[in-house]
Structure 1
Amino acid sequence: MIGIVVSGHINFATGMGSAVKAIAGEQDQLEFIDFVESMSTDELEAELRQAAKRVDSGEGVLFLTDIPGGSPCNRALAIMMDTDNVELIAGVNLPMIANAAFERDGAELKELVETLLDIGGSCMQDMRKELEAVMAPEPELKCEDGL
């Protein structure tokens, strides 16, 4: 099973962890690392490296971070650059993280990345447009031959 490490600023990771637990239940090989104000970026990277080792069963590790270019992303990127079988997605949302827990067993690491990127984009919706589409009146059907 692919190991997953979620990280982000302040309580992003632990907040997502609470939500994922409510949706998917307790998960093995899944850790949540917050980057809090009292932490240096070197300390963050050390925590991320330790977490990656704990969740790695040999099928790879996927880092999921909050902001592309933020410290959690940058430090996970450094790990990806010097560690085999590690991938990183930045800018994740709850549907991506929850689905990562469901989809990772039996998946290849690159395949999981593609699946999560598809899910992430498809979950964003303009709810006003969705509501307007549902509330739009049905077009009247005309049967010219009387049937």
Structure 2
Amino acid sequence: MIGIIVSGHLNFATGMQSAAKAIAGEQEQFVFIDFLESMSTDDLEAKMREAVAEINTGDGVLFLTDLVGGSPCNRAMSIMLDTPNVELLAGVNLAMIANAAFERDGCTLEELAETLTEIGGSTMKNMREELKAITAQSHDDEDGL
């Protein structure tokens, strides 16, 4: 099974942990690492490396981080560059994190990363524009006499 590590600034990871657990239940090989103000980036990377070693059973590890270019992303990228079978998605949302639990069985690490990227893009909507489209569609569907 692909291991998942979620990391982000302050309580991003543990907040997502609570929400993901409510949606997908308790998960094995799923680690949540907060980057707290009291931590250095070296501390963060050390925790991440420990987690990779702990949850990688051979199918690989996927990092899911909050911000592109933030410290959790940058430190996960460092690990990805020197550790085989590790991938990274940055800028993730709850839909991506919860779906990682459902989608990770029976696929490769690369396939999971692609699937979650598609899910992330499809779940962001401007709801005013969505309502306009629905309203326009309902007016187009009227037969009129």
The alignment's TM-score, normalised by the length of structure 2, stands at 0.94
Which residues in structure 2 correspond to 1:52-67 (within 5 Å)?
Answer: 52-67=52-67
Match of 2:83 in 1: 83
Matched residue pairs, number? 143
Matched, 1:20 2:20: yes
Q: Secondary structure at the match of 1:138?
A: helix
Match of 1:114 in 2: 114
1:53-109: CA deviations, max 9, x gaps? Answer: 111111000000001111000100110111000000010000001111100011100
Match of 1:71 in 2: 71
Q: Which letter does structure 2 place at the counterpart of 1:30?
A: F
Q: Secondary structure at the match of 2:4?
A: strand
The alignment's TM-score, normalised by the length of structure 1, stands at 0.93
Q: What are the ranges of 5 or more consecutive residues in structure 2 without an aligned counterpart?
A: none
Distance 1:127 1:33 in 2: 31
Displacement after TM superposition at 1:142 (Å): 6.4
Displacement after TM superposition at 1:34 (Å): 0.2
Q: Percent identity?
A: 68
Find the structure with the greater CA-based Rg: 1
Match of 2:130 in 1: 130
Distance 1:120 1:142 in 2: 39
Matched, 1:45 2:45: yes
Matched, 1:5 2:5: yes
